[in-house]
């Protein structure tokens, strides 16, 4: 479930040890940078894991612990694998890497889907507390403390020039991950150390937070036969409007309304009323009926959470 993990180990955790003397001999492609009398050495462990070190700390800035430990990008970096990787680092550096402070956590599964991931994107609406952003390769939901990203795994590997295993080529793999890149202690209500990553209690907390992020996303229906019978012409018109909205991108509709307001075509109150109606229609769409695609995605998210618990 884990992907990118950045961490920093401060010198107060390694009594009477010179970090630079310990780390530098173990790194390849070494570079030196001096800024404000602080010298930082940067290099790669096994030519893969980026590490930089000063007199006061050692840092894994890129967070590619998973790709250092596994050659296959589709392998799950589970709790046990994370523990093995951190223990391996401790053996190599002869330092208590488990006591390093974690500064970023990306977590989520890679799901094998029936259809190409792009078909699922338009069924994923807004999420309370997050801004929905469309990307070329997926969707980002950006919050104040975290983000939730849904994207095509194979496309991402191709864009970054990474090798795709033969058995995974031309397959439909969708990645659904949360990323916590700041205020981690506040987000998880605890200071997170590297050794916490394989602690069962923390791991379950991280999985619950990930699943909660996904559950906040409104799912859109686009099927006419999903409308429930009604004797109200107002309700059926609203249902049809809701389905029509699902064919568009609600965020683009909201941006259009904002543009109308900026060019003085509508008042602030009219813009507010329209935005409220759009949000109501989108939420109503959730209550019509889920599409086959969202049902598949919901089920695979649920199974992923249950499997890791």
Q: Residue range 194-202: average pLDDT?
A: 95
pLDDT of res. 247: 62
| Within-domain flag for 30 | yes
Top pLDDT among 249 and 133 is at 133
Question: Given this model, what pLDDT does residue 163 score?
Answer: 74
Q: Say if residue 213 is in the same domain as residue 228.
A: no
In this structure, is residue 300 part of a structural domain?
A: no
User: What is the arithmetic mean of pLDDT over 25-49?
Assistant: 93
- Examine residue 297 and state whether it is found in any structural domain, yes or no: no
pLDDT band with cut points at 50, 70 and 90 for residue 255: confident
Structural domain for 129, as ranges = 2-218
Q: What is the DSSP letter of 243?
A: H
Same domain, 168 and 254: no
In the block, tokens 């329209």 appear at 274
pTM for the full model?
A: 0.76
Question: Does any domain span residue 296?
Answer: no
Residues 6 and 67 both lie in one domain: yes
Give the model confidence (pLDDT) of 89-115 as tens digits.
999 999 999 999 999 999 999 898 998
Please report whether residue 116 resides in a domain: yes
- Is residue 216 within 8 Å of 127, Cβ to Cβ? yes
β strands within the chain, DSSP E: 2-10, 28-35, 38-45, 49-53, 57-60, 101-107, 110-112, 124-127, 131-135, 138-142, 146-152, 173-180, 217-219
How many structural domains compose the chain? 2
Query: Which of 218, 246, 276 is where one domain is finished?
Result: 218
Q: Which of 218, 234, 250 is the last residue of a domain?
A: 218
Spacing of C-alpha 166 from chain mean position: 25
Residues 66 and 187 in one domain: yes
Q: Please tell me whether residues 209 and 247 are part of one structural domain.
A: no
- Express each pLDDT in 282-303 by its tens digit: 766 554 455 788 889 999 999 9
Count other C-beta atoms under 10 Å from residue 89's C-beta.
24
pLDDT above 80: residue 158: no
CA distance 161 to 250: 33
User: Which structure tokens are listed for 235?
Assistant: 């309700």
Same domain, 199 and 282: no
pLDDT the model gives residue 288: 47
């Amino acid at each position: 479930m884990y992907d990118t993990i950045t961490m920093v180990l401060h010198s107060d955790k390694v009594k009477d040890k010179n970090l630079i003397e310990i780390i530098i001999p173990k790194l390849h492609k070494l570079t030196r940078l001096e800024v404000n009398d602080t010298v930082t050495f940067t290099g790669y462990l096994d030519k893969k894991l980026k590490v930089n070190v000063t007199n006061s700390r050692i840092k894994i800035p890129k967070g590619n612990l998973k790709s250092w430990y596994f050659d296959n990008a589709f392998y799950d970096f589970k709790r046990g694998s994370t523990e093995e990787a951190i223990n391996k680092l401790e053996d190599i550096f002869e330092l208590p890497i488990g006591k390093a402070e974690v500064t970023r956590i990306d977590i989520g599964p890679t799901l094998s889907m029936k259809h190409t991931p792009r078909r699922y994107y338009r069924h994923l609406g807004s999420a309370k507390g997050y801004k929905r952003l469309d990307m070329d390769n997926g969707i980002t939901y950006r919050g104040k403390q975290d983000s939730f990203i849904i994207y095509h795994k194979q496309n991402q590997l191709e864009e970054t020039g990474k090798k795709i295993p033969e058995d995974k080529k031309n397959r439909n793999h969708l990645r659904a991950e949360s990323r916590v890149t700041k205020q981690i202690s506040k987000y998880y209500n605890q200071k997170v150390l590297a050794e916490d990553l394989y602690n069962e209690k923390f791991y379950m907390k991280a999985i619950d937070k990930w699943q909660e992020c996904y559950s906040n996303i409104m799912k859109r229906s686009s099927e006419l036969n999903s409308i429930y019978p009604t004797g109200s012409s107002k309700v059926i018109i609203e249902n049809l409007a809701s389905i029509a909205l699902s064919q568009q991108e609600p965020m683009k509709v909201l941006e259009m309304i904002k543009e109308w307001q900026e060019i003085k075509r509508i008042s602030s109150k009219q813009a507010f009323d329209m935005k409220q109606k759009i949000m109501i229609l989108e939420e109503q769409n959730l209550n019509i009926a889920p599409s086959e695609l969202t049902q598949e995605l919901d089920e695979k998210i649920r199974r992923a959470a249950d499997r890791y618990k």
